[in-house]
């Protein structure tokens, strides 16, 4: 068995892991850059031949410390290079350094090259030649945190080079990213069910060609002439011949019909390049490329997938003309592609809304250095965008503004804005609650979010009325409040978000409401945070915890900080800003951990001392090392499904066991800050012998939440020194 590393475009590691498993790999470990796994040489060869999303497949040779040039040189000498380079073989060294003392990549590559040359010259009396373009053997060296990993690059050059591309047009997609988009969009299942494929802006034809390779069961590596293992001394030629023959047989056995995969473009030169590429890729019998404008795109089958990569302003096209282009695409979809699935790749989420369909799923990827979104739609009337998207302010009825109720509500809101606004400016607070059901008949919570530079937005949450209140009465009062909100708040309609808040069960406060993936930067305590007003019931920053976070910052200096149920990592940012030597954030949700990472990076905390762990916090805490952290923040949900404690977490029922587990990981003299939003919570201090417990709830309720002193409960638990 061998150890392998396979790389892929950012955001595609999950797809690559599935391919590795299908090839026979075991022990797959996903990383942001790809997958690490074990397998036979056949597994590595199979991935080189069949992987649609991999960039490179690397066979690990050795791993050793390399904090200095001398250590790097010595580590390279531990490998017997005669086992990998034949007498006439050429080689090249690719070197990468991440958070290591050796930072100069050319110097690092030179030290490894010198070690290889010196060793082989001593053994053979002749030095091997270097070929940086197409060497017999390409050696990959990655030094991360002063540890070097030496690997043989079986791919030789990036696997996105399928061997058929010749020329191109503006802003092309790499072939493996195109394949990742197709897999994410469900093309294999759609093709198997007899669906069609359309790309009405196909450019050089990458998407239609990759779609044909998938549908016709063609291995993407069949058209490549060069792999890194072909000149390797350990190459198993019979094994490779066997795998390639099997792939050719599968391609020959495919009965995928012609006429179902269409590509088109308005650019004659792009169409010419795309047609030539289909021939070179051997899929011209399956793919038809036409020159036609977007408005003339038509569906070749009743169902199928349209996957399109229109310009989004990074490289070509200006914003206003692009809005018209996206709007035109929406018209084409609604008129001619009913019942179809759509995948839209864009680097500008606002443009995606111009097609007037609600995205059902969204995936974050990278097109080179550009962060992009794959928005997935279904073309059906129930998915058309409403006049106002979910979460946006309902239509304002000007006639309601003069009603006594609207005037009364507006006057109270103005008074609050004046009083709390002066307090917030005096305290340097940019995000605060300005109204919280002050008038019970107008049961709203209104929060203002500022970026510290004058830009403000508002999130209005309507508390759901009890069943005893007539729906007509609720609608009237909502309309009265909405009619005065923009004027009183001094905000445009598009900068006010509106939603109804009901009593939540379990972890429903974290569930997704939409898939806009649009974030805004706000300021709190001199720090920056990303908030999202569209996708979740909560924005990502609990404003009632402002003083609790400030207390954590005061306690953090020189301490190791653990954030359990870490959510979007705001507490970790505060601890890092307070001088914590390290932060560890644990949460079960990958999107929230990614959000936490972005919050940390936004404030300059991107080092390896800031650890993010995706895990069930309860299960993880049970296995965590004792006495490992000096400061712990524990803010569990009131109720949640969990593998522990009879299948659920009930914060009142289970807080003693949870606090005991959290106290166990504290160092002697360590501090645990425990918070809960359960309004009827009662802490059982007597069940926690040996721990000091202090109720600090009143001191952590900010001025803007004083109307609701039970918004949360907060305690400081200390382990004796």
Q: Are 548 and 610 found together in one domain?
A: yes
**pLDDT at residue 324 in the model:** 86
Question: Is there a single domain that holds both residue 469 and residue 613?
Answer: no
Segment 315-333 shows an average pLDDT of 80
Residue 453: burial class (beta carbons within 10 Å; 0-12, 13-18, 19+): exposed
pLDDT at 512: 46
Q: 282, 219 in Cβ contact below 8 A?
A: no
Cβ 693 vs Cβ 683: under 8 Å: yes
Cβ-Cβ contacts under 8 Å for 706 (sequence gap 6 or more): none
pLDDT of residue 514: 44
Q: Is residue 689 part of a domain?
A: yes
Identify the band that residue 88 occupies on the pLDDT scale cut at 50, 70 and 90: very high
Q: Kindly report, residue by residue over 93-106, the tens digit of the pLDDT.
A: 999 999 899 999 99
- Averaged pLDDT for residues 507-525: 66
Instruction: Sheet containing 666-676: give its strands across.
Output: 610-614, 582-587, 560-564, 629-634, 666-676, 713-718, 692-695
Report the alpha-carbon distance of residue 345 to residue 204 in Å, rounded.
16
Instruction: Report yes or no on 212 lying in a domain.
Output: yes
Q: Are residues 493 and 586 in the same domain?
A: no
Supply φ then ψ for residue 98, to 5 degrees: -135, 115
Structural domain of residue 266, as residue ranges?
175-218+262-383
Residue 594 domain flag: yes
Q: What is the DSSP letter of 237?
A: H
Same domain for 491 and 467, yes or no, is: yes
Q: Given 502, 534, 557, which residue is the final one in a domain?
A: 502
pLDDT of 642: 47
The three-class DSSP label of residue 523 is strand
DSSP 116-160: HHHHHHHHHSSPPEE-SSS-SEEEEEEEETTEEEEEEESSSS-TT
**Four-CA torsion 492, 495, 499, 505, nearest 10 degrees:** -160
**pLDDT of 706:** 94
**Domain ends where: 348, 383, 418?**
383
Statement to judge: residues 139 and 274 lie in one domain: no
Is residue 298 domain-resident? Answer: yes
The pair of structure tokens assigned to 178 is: 């195109």
Closest by CA to 123, choosing from 161, 186, 77, is 77
Domain assignment present for 510: no
- The reply to whether 320 and 405 lie within a common domain is no
Mean pLDDT of the residues in the chain? 90
- Given the structure tokens 């949700």, which residue do they identify? 589
pLDDT at position 506 is 42
Same domain, 473 and 569: no
CA–CA distance, 201 with 207 (Å, rounded to integer): 10
User: What is the CATH number for 18?
Assistant: 3.30.2130.30
The pLDDT of residue 465 is above 90: no
Question: What pLDDT digit, counting tens, does each position of 117-136 carry?
Answer: 999 999 998 999 999 999 99
Residue 501, pLDDT score: 66
- Asked whether residue 628 falls in the same domain as residue 714, the answer is yes
**Domain co-membership, 293 together with 329:** yes
Which of 404-408, 469-473, 642-646 ranks highest by mean pLDDT?
Answer: 404-408
What pTM was estimated for this model as a whole? 0.57
Q: Do 358 and 434 fall within a single domain? A: no
- Read off the pLDDT of each residue in 400-405 and give the average, rounded to a whole number: 91
Tell me if residue 618 falls in helix, strand or coil: helix
Angle between helices 268-281 and 206-215 (to 10 degrees): 30
**Residue 647 binned pLDDT confidence (cut-offs 50, 70, 90):** low
Domain boundary among 121, 153, 185: 153
Model confidence at 109: pLDDT above 80: yes
* pLDDT tens readout for residues 339-351: 999 999 988 877 8
SS3 state of residue 115: helix
Instruction: In whole angstroms, give the CA distance from residue 583 to residue 605.
Output: 10
In 161-210, at which residue ranges do the beta strands (DSSP E only) sit? 196-199
Residues 329 and 372 in one domain: yes
Q: Model confidence over 688-701: pLDDT tens digits?
A: 999 999 999 999 99
pLDDT at 517 over 80: no
Q: Answer yes or no: is 344 within a domain.
A: yes
Backbone angles phi, psi at 717, to 5 degrees: -115, 125
pLDDT, position 646: 46
If one counts the domains in the chain, the total is: 4
What is the pLDDT at residue 349?
Answer: 76
**pLDDT surpassing 50 at residue 676:** yes
Q: Which of 331, 334, 355 lies closest to 345 in space, CA to CA?
A: 355
Do residues 73 and 64 make contact, with C-beta atoms less than 8 angstroms apart?
A: no
For residue 70, name the pLDDT band (cuts at 50, 70, 90): very high
Evaluate whether residue 531 is within a structural domain: no
Confidence at residue 264, expressed as pLDDT on a 0 to 100 scale: 96
Q: What per-residue confidence (pLDDT) applies to 391?
A: 61
Distance CA 74, CA 450 (A): 55
Give the model's pLDDT for residue 384.
72
Average pLDDT over residues 677-695: 93
Q: What is the mean pLDDT of residues 388-402?
A: 69
- How many whole angstroms separate alpha carbon 15 and alpha carbon 508? 28
What's the rounded Cα separation, in Å, for the pair 327 and 351? 9
pLDDT digits (tens, 9 = 90+) for 341-391: 999 998 887 788 888 888 888 888 888 888 888 999 999 877 776 433 446
Q: Does 471 score more than 80 pLDDT?
A: no
User: What's the pLDDT at 194?
Assistant: 93
Greatest Cα-to-Cα distance within the chain, rounded to the nearest angstrom:
99
pLDDT of residue 446: 97
186 and 282 share a domain?
yes
Which whole number is the average pLDDT over 51-63?
A: 97
CATH code: domain of residue 482: 3.30.750.80
| Structural domain includes residue 162 | no
Q: Could you count the other beta carbons within 10 Å of the beta carbon of residue 132?
A: 12
DSSP 579: T
Q: What is the mean pLDDT of residues 672-682?
A: 95
| Separation between Cα atoms, residue 58 and residue 641, nearest integer Å | 40
Structure confidence by residue, pLDDT tens digits, 559-569: 999 999 999 99
Whether 166 shows a pLDDT value over 80: the answer reads no
Distances (CA, A) of 378 to 144, 217, 357: 43, 26, 8
Average pLDDT over residues 20-31: 94
Q: What one-character DSSP code corresponds to residue 173?
A: P
- What CATH number has the domain bearing residue 266? 3.40.50.150
pLDDT in tens, 179-230: 999 999 999 999 999 999 999 999 999 999 999 999 999 999 999 999 999 9
Place of tokens 């349209």: 306
Percent of the chain at pLDDT > 90 equals: 75
């Amino acid at each position: 068995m061998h150890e392998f590393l396979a790389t892929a475009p950012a955001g595609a590691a999950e797809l690559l892991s599935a391919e590795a498993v299908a090839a026979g790999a075991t022990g797959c470990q996903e990383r942001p850059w790809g997958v690490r796994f074990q397998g036979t040489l056949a597994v590595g060869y199979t991935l080189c031949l069949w992987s649609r999303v991999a960039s490179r497949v690397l066979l690990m040779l050795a791993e050793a410390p390399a904090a200095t040039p001398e250590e790097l040189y010595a580590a390279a000498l531990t490998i017997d290079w005669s086992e990998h380079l034949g007498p006439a073989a050429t080689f090249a060294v690719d070197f990468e350094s991440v958070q290591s003392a050796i930072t100069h990549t050319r110097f690092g590559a030179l030290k490894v090259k010198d070690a290889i040359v010196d060793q082989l010259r001593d053994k053979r009396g002749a030095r091997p030649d270097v070929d940086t373009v197409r060497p017999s053997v390409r050696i990959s060296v990655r030094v991360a945190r002063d540890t070097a990993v030496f690997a043989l690059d079986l791919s030789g050059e990036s696997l996105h080079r399928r061997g058929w591309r010749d020329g191109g047009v503006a802003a092309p997609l790499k072939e493996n990213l195109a394949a990742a988009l197709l897999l994410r969009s469900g093309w294999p299942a759609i093709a198997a069910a007899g669906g069609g494929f359309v790309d009405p802006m196909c450019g050089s034809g990458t998407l239609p060609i990759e779609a044909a390779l998938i549908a016709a069961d063609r291995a993407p590596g069949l058209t490549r002439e060069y792999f890194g293992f072909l000149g390797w001394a350990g190459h198993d030629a019979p094994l490779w011949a066997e795998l390639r023959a099997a792939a050719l047989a599968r391609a020959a056995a495919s009965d995928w019909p012609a006429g179902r995969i269409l590509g088109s473009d308005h650019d004659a030169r792009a169409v010419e390049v795309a047609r030539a590429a289909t021939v070179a890729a051997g899929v011209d019998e399956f793919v038809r490329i036409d020159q036609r404008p977007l408005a003339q795109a038509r569906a070749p089958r009743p169902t199928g997938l349209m996957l399109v990569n229109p310009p989004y302003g990074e490289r070509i096209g200006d914003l206003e003309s692009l809005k018209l282009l996206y709007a035109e695409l929406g018209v084409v979809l609604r008129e001619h592609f009913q019942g179809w699935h759509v995948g839209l790749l864009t680097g500008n989420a606002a443009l995606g809304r111009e097609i007037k369909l609600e995205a059902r799923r969204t995936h974050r990827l990278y097109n080179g250095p550009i962060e992009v979104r794959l928005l997935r739609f279904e073309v059906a009337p129930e998915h058309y965008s409403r006049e106002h998207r979910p979460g946006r302010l309902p239509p304002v009825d000007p006639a309601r503004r003069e009603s006594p109720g609207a005037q009364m509500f507006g006057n109270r809101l103005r008074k609050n804005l004046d009083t709390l606004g002066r307090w917030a400016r005096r305290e340097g607070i940019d995000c605060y609650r300005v109204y919280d059901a002050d008038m019970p008949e107008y049961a709203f919570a209104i929060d203002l979010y500022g970026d510290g530079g004058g830009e403000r937005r508002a999130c209005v949450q309507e508390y759901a009325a009890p069943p005893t209140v007539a729906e007509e009465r609720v609608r009237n009062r909502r309309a009265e409040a909405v009619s005065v909100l923009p004027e009183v708040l001094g905000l445009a309609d598009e900068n006010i978000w509106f939603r109804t808040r009901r009593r939540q069960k379990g972890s429903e406060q974290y569930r997704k409401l939409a898939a806009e993936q649009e974030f805004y930067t706000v300021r709190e305590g001199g720090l920056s945070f990303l908030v999202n007003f569209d996708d979740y019931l909560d924005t990502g920053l609990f404003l009632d915890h402002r003083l609790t976070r400030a207390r954590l910052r005061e306690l953090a200096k020189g301490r190791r900080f653990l954030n359990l149920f870490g959510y979007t990592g705001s507490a970790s940012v505060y601890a890092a800003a307070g001088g914590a030597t390290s932060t560890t954030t644990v949460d079960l949700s990958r999107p929230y951990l990614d959000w936490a990472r972005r919050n940390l990076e936004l404030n300059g905390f991107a080092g390896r001392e800031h650890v993010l762990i995706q895990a069930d916090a309860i299960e993880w805490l049970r296995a965590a090392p004792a006495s490992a952290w000096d400061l712990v923040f524990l803010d569990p949900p009131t109720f949640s499904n969990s593998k522990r404690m009879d299948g659920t977490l009930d914060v009142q029922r289970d807080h003693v066991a949870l606090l005991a587990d959290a106290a166990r990981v504290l160092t002697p003299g360590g501090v645990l800050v425990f918070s809960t939003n359960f309004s009827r919570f009662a802490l059982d201090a007597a069940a926690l012998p040996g721990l000091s417990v202090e109720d600090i709830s009143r001191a952590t309720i900010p001025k803007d939440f004083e109307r609701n002193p039970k918004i949360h409960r907060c305690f400081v638990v200390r382990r004796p020194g």
